[in-house]
Structure 1
């Protein structure tokens, strides 16, 4: 039963990574840029929910909704102010800007909330579900996290394949110039992509802090990097790849902690990234695209 417990914990952690990885994979797939400030948006979402429930006395659902709204607006503002002026700039300039935005958000959080750790209450409480006469225990947060990941993945897949905006996103992903000639507003499409990714980051931040209830201004930094690893692992630009990569990475991390070393678990995760880049640079579900010159 210990093996099953570790597996369930790995799937739960991987589900959070998968939700975060969606933000990376959508922005890269459509705008062809890496938003390394995404991990800090996770942190802002968690703080928003914390403030809503602890300072304003709002119910948890209202706190989550507030976090989603704030992060959605924040994501659109970041895209408009920091990334839109660099739409035609070299990728290195965009990367440096993303790192700058990340540091700005972290230091703003330090000024507002200080570096003192905050105790984050789980979004759902209650006794865990037990099976096999109590030998296997599954917390309610774990069930909620996995269920949220599945619902989000299904909804996002349907959105990108069935709606007008989803069709515009896929068109912009294929060729921005051709999409604009067909009447698609590329700037609006990219802004909506950032909005969706940032809203999902807020949900991921709340779920992450519910499972690991210590909140500090650097809360989203390491999970954000690991989620980027998951996106690359699954094939950055692929929504199903984000799900598979996130869950596999979560399972690898938990089993690495349990059976190898707590101290080396992070090293194992990034070793996976190195191996994937060496063996299959496009990821498990990524598509190799030849660049025409």
Structure 2
């Protein structure tokens, strides 16, 4: 049983990263019905900005807490601003265009981000400084580090904060109105364009936080890391019910557990088979996901 619970800990840790990125997918889809396939690459950009910040501050011998705070702040600001810029330049002019046009644009933005980081940092791996120790708790032969506890708790806290923001604030109410009907929201005086940009900003910030946390935990990052993780996070969003915030969080943890159990009991080479097999099964059996609601298409 100790092995089983050890896989649970590993799955929840991996699932925390998927869940935070899945929240960005689900927010954007909930507002403008767009699958933003560039979102995984924003996660990658956030990881590189965090690494750059830590590498720059390394020679200053600053306190660890200050260096980490600076890395998270720089990553969220840069990645959030990049998300807003992408929304303004690439997506908003195409909101009235056919869905295929905006989907192709999302794939193009993904390639632009990947190749921009490739040209800037190179194709090799970059290594985060080893700031997180292996100190933690040993519960009946199940090892859980304080870093893993912090990652899981932080993911839950961010999801709860986002849920509260969407359901209990004026801007959140405006977002939900926009998700129902853009034209009606505009007639009610809601600044639709700024609200869409705010949605992209929040989603990008969550992806940046996940990117820095993954970099700190696994230490190695590269320009292609956002592609596969983005696909798995998209699978998590679909599994939970895309457009549903708690569903995206639950889907992320479920995909993380599936990956951990698959790698532990079968083989890590079969991980993608399990994950994307779940995606196909959900799309065939229950396209609205575990917690999703059927959306009426408006022509």
TM-score, reference length from structure 2: 0.94
Correspondences of 1:125-144 after superposition (within 5 Å) = 125=133, 127-132=135-140, 135-144=141-150
Contact 2:88 2:197 in 1 (8 A): yes
- Return the match for 1:100 from 98, 108, 113: 108
2:79 aligned with 1:71: yes
Number of matched pairs: 291
Q: Which runs of 5+ in 2 are unaligned?
A: none
Contact 2:25 2:237 in 1 (8 A): yes
**Residue number in structure 2 paired with 1:279:** 285
Compare 192-201 and 259-268 and name the one that shifted more: 259-268
Moved over 6 A (4+): none
Correspondences of 1:9-158 after superposition (within 5 Å) = 9-57=10-58, 59-121=67-129, 124-125=132-133, 127-132=135-140, 135-158=141-164
Find the aligned partners of 1:87 and 1:108 in 2 and give their Cα distance: 25
Find the aligned partners of 1:123 and 1:280 in 2 and give their Cα distance: 42
Contact 1:25 1:237 in 2 (8 A): yes
By how many angstroms is 1:126 displaced? 5.1
The 3-state SS of whatever aligns with 1:35 is coil
**Residue number in structure 2 paired with 1:197:** 203
Contact 1:256 1:262 in 2 (8 A): yes
Contact 1:122 1:141 in 2 (8 A): no
Say if 1:164 and 1:122 are closer, same or farther in 2 by CA, change over 3 A.
farther
Find the aligned partners of 1:85 and 1:123 in 2 and give their Cα distance: 43
Find the aligned partners of 1:65 and 1:189 in 2 and give their Cα distance: 22
By how many angstroms is 1:253 displaced? 0.7
**Residue number in structure 2 paired with 1:169:** 175
Find the aligned partners of 1:22 and 1:209 in 2 and give their Cα distance: 19
Contact 1:79 1:191 in 2 (8 A): yes
Contact 1:141 1:210 in 2 (8 A): no
Find the aligned partners of 1:34 and 1:292 in 2 and give their Cα distance: 17
2:272 aligned with 1:266: yes
Compare 118-127 and 279-288 and name the one that shifted more: 118-127
Say if 1:123 and 1:31 are closer, same or farther in 2 by CA, change over 3 A.
farther
The 3-state SS of whatever aligns with 1:105 is helix
By how many angstroms is 1:31 displaced? 1.2
Find the aligned partners of 1:204 and 1:78 in 2 and give their Cα distance: 19
Compare 94-103 and 54-63 and name the one that shifted more: 54-63
TM-score, reference length from structure 1: 0.96
2:241 aligned with 1:243: no
The 3-state SS of whatever aligns with 1:284 is coil
